Amino acid sequence: MNKALFATTAVAGIGIRQFKRGQSPMSERTALVHAIVDACAEAGLDPADVDGFVSYGDDKNEPVRLMPELGTKELCWSQAVFGGGGGGIAAAFGSAAAAILTGQASAVIVFRALVQGHSGRLSAAVMAHHLNDMMIAAGVMAPAQVCAMRAMRLFEHHGVPTSTAEEFVKACYYHGARNPDAVAYGQTFDHAQYAASRMIAEPFHLFDCSRENDGAGAVLLVSAERARDLRKPPVYLLGVTQGTEKGWGDLAENDVDYASAGFASVVRRLWRQTDLTPADIDCAQIYENFSAQGVASLIDHGFCGYEDAAEFVRMENLIAPGGKLPINTAGGNTAQGFIHGIGIALESVRQLRGESANPVPGARTCLLAGGPGSPTVSSAIFGSAAAFG
């Protein structure tokens, strides 16, 4: 176990503003400032005392520009995780914790803001990060197509049934339909709708693809000691790993473990770092840009394998309160909303505070997995005080 990192920092506050895509009534920066002020208000901490900021995924909001509206006294830590997809979401917490634990900052906001009128379509931004003439020549213009080709290999070559993708999506909609803050609140979703939805890029139907939303989310991380003096019950960061290993990366579809979500080395280090195993995880927020990549994330993290994926990835196993591993309990990127994944980080916190719309009784640990299929990915484990006695 990495004792320096295990439960030595904690989330003290969260804030989010989410709108329909292209319909934000406020600017990207204003939405972000709202989210940060809300996160600080939860904690009972003056926003002016936030001295660090970390984002990921081509976020355009350079923290120094937030200072006039937050009243920031001192900016000590200002970073973004490399990588154009959502692979940096958990890694951002690692950066924030590194700053706090080494005394380089004391109150760090992890954020992601995205308002289409300001930053354009998310899918276009992600693709611009990678696009080159090799892809253009093959008609590959969107993340959906790249992930579809990986999904095809997962299904056709490795024999994982396509039912797993549908079951994953159904679990997301089950939770989203029961979450008043979700885009899919109150909606029904069944096999007939899934099967009838238009084809995007085989094997992906429309419902295999995440949404895009306008908005901003913010998570306030402080030392565990400081968090215990603030208003909300601390949600501790137990471990976090990021990156990739040889044979994976921005390799023009030459990745070795091609149909995976790219987590092999990140997961290996995560279990070693925390002394935890998949059996210790009570619920999980699995970044799903596309359904098959969510399934591949479950496989990569060791919750199941190619052989028993069909048995494990069934809706009843994946929903609160009674599933073996409730996932995306707010609805995930698919049914809650998609501000480049920051929503699933917030749900990790809500779930461990007992504030989720779909509570997992007695949940002590929550996995946050970011950016399946991205050249670099990251995972984190959060825990309540009960997670470590």
Nearer to other proteins, 79 or 145 (CB): 145
The verdict on 265 binding other proteins (CB under 8 A) reads no
Nearer to other proteins, 121 or 353 (CB): 121
The verdict on 157 binding other proteins (CB under 8 A) reads yes
> What token pair was written down for 44?
């009972």
CA distance 22 to 133: 29
Question: 35 and 259 in contact (C-beta within 8 Å)?
Answer: no
Residues 225-254 vs other proteins: string with x where CB under 8 A? -------------------------xxxxx
Q: Cβ 258 to other proteins, closest distance in Å?
A: 7
The verdict on 353 binding other proteins (CB under 8 A) reads no
CA distance 318 to 336: 16
Count CB atoms within 10 A of the CB of residue 193: 15
CA distance 263 to 303: 13
Q: Cβ 331 to other proteins, closest distance in Å?
A: 23
Question: 219 and 39 in contact (C-beta within 8 Å)?
Answer: yes
The verdict on 130 binding other proteins (CB under 8 A) reads no
The verdict on 207 binding other proteins (CB under 8 A) reads no
Q: Cβ 288 to other proteins, closest distance in Å?
A: 18
Stretch of 33-41, 67-75, 148-156, 170-178 contacting other proteins, by CB under 8 A: 148-156
Q: How far apart are the first and last CA of the chain?
A: 16
Report the residue from 101, 152, 310, 385 that binds other proteins according to the rule CB under 8 A.
152
Nearer to other proteins, 42 or 58 (CB): 58
| Integer CA distances (angstroms), 262 to 82, 178, 205, 221, in order | 16, 31, 23, 27
Beta strands in the chain (DSSP E): 9-20, 52-56, 77-81, 107-114, 199-201, 204-205, 213-223, 235-243, 283-286, 365-370, 377-383
Q: Give the CA angle between residues 38, 43, 44 to the nearest 5°.
A: 90
Report the residue from 145, 197, 265, 273 that binds other proteins according to the rule CB under 8 A.
145
Nearer to other proteins, 158 or 226 (CB): 158
How many residues belong to the site for other proteins (CB under 8 A)? 32
Stretch of 38-46, 129-137, 333-341, 364-372 contacting other proteins, by CB under 8 A: 129-137
Count CB atoms within 10 A of the CB of residue 138: 12
Whether a cis peptide bond, with omega within 30° of 0, leads into 372 is: no
The verdict on 26 binding other proteins (CB under 8 A) reads no
Report the residue from 144, 292, 313, 349 that binds other proteins according to the rule CB under 8 A.
144
Stretch of 83-91, 136-144, 167-175, 342-350 contacting other proteins, by CB under 8 A: 136-144
Question: 170 and 194 in contact (C-beta within 8 Å)?
Answer: yes
Which 181-200 residues touch other proteins, going by CB under 8 A?
A: 198-200
Q: Cβ 247 to other proteins, closest distance in Å?
A: 11
Stretch of 132-140, 173-181, 182-190, 347-355 contacting other proteins, by CB under 8 A: 132-140
Nearer to other proteins, 199 or 386 (CB): 199
Torsion angle defined by CA atoms of residues 196, 199, 202 and 205, in that order, rounded to the nearest 10 degrees: -60
Binding site for other proteins (CB under 8 A): 124, 133-142, 144-145, 148-150, 152-153, 156-157, 198-203, 250-254, 258
